Amino acid sequence: MAFIKRNYGWVLVTILASFPLFILSNMISVSFFNGLAITLVENATGEGRTTLEMLYHVSGEFAIRWMTAVLTCTPFFILFGVTNLYVRQAMGIATAIWSLLHFIIFILAEGLLETFTQVNYVAGFIAVLILIPLLLTSNRKSMKWLKTTWKKLQSLAYVAIFLSLLHVAILEKTWVIYAIIVGVGFIIRTPKVKEKILAFRKKRNVAKQ
């Protein structure tokens, strides 16, 4: 119980990030008869999409959702004064894992060379490459070892979200929702807006006292 209390953020993020895996597991059949065999369950979705299309959709959707959530952590702190760096790290790990899973599904289905046939595929591929070092350094030891360089490295997440939004924008229109959320977050981050929000919060806290 003490471990859960200290790391409740990690536990919560892990549960939320792992839950969609149950959806994916219903679309895949694994057999160990005569060796390992992995096949797709046909008509598993019932939503007018093939199983492969649904695998693409679910993995990609949760990757962009987690990425957007990570970038809203700082605006959330500015607005409400609540922050937890290690929870944000856990969310970053969830983003990277879902992005890698999305890319692996694509490679298994289409092949690596297909990645370079369309602009949106290339954008997604570069975003995944950026997320790999961010994933490997999302731990306390890396923070201590890299020091100020760690923050600079993690700032590449902004490039990854831009490329991811470009990737999604070319494929479908749902990117607008994520673009709006990220855009509002960046507005809140700007020095003038941030100062006004912090000043308002300080004034309100003083008034309560």
Q: Which residue has the tokens 């298994």?
A: 108
Stretch 132-153: mean pLDDT, rounded? 84
pTM tops 0.85: no
Nearest residue to 162 (alpha-carbon basis) of 186, 140, 196, 146:
186
* Among the ranges given (17-31, 70-84, 100-114), the one the predictor scored with the smallest mean pLDDT: 17-31
Task: Give the Cα separation of 171 and 147 in Å (integer).
Answer: 38
Tokens encoding 147: 């020091």
Stretch 179-184: mean pLDDT, rounded? 86
Asked if the model's pLDDT at residue 126 lies above 90, the reply is yes
Task: Give the Cα separation of 49 and 55 in Å (integer).
Answer: 10
Domain ranges in the chain are 2-20+50-208
CA-to-CA separations, 4 to 10, 72, 84, 91, 122, in angstroms, rounded: 9, 24, 15, 17, 40
CB 92 within 8 A of CB 70: yes
Pairwise pLDDT comparison (96 vs 174), residue with the higher score: 96
The residue type at 30 = V
Task: Give the Cα separation of 190 and 34 in Å (integer).
Answer: 59
Q: What is the pLDDT of residues 27-48, one digit of tens each?
A: 777 667 766 666 767 665 555 5
Task: Give the Cα separation of 8 and 121 in Å (integer).
Answer: 36
Alpha helices in the chain (DSSP H): 2-6, 8-18, 20-25, 51-71, 73-80, 85-110, 119-136, 140-146, 148-154, 157-171, 175-189, 191-208
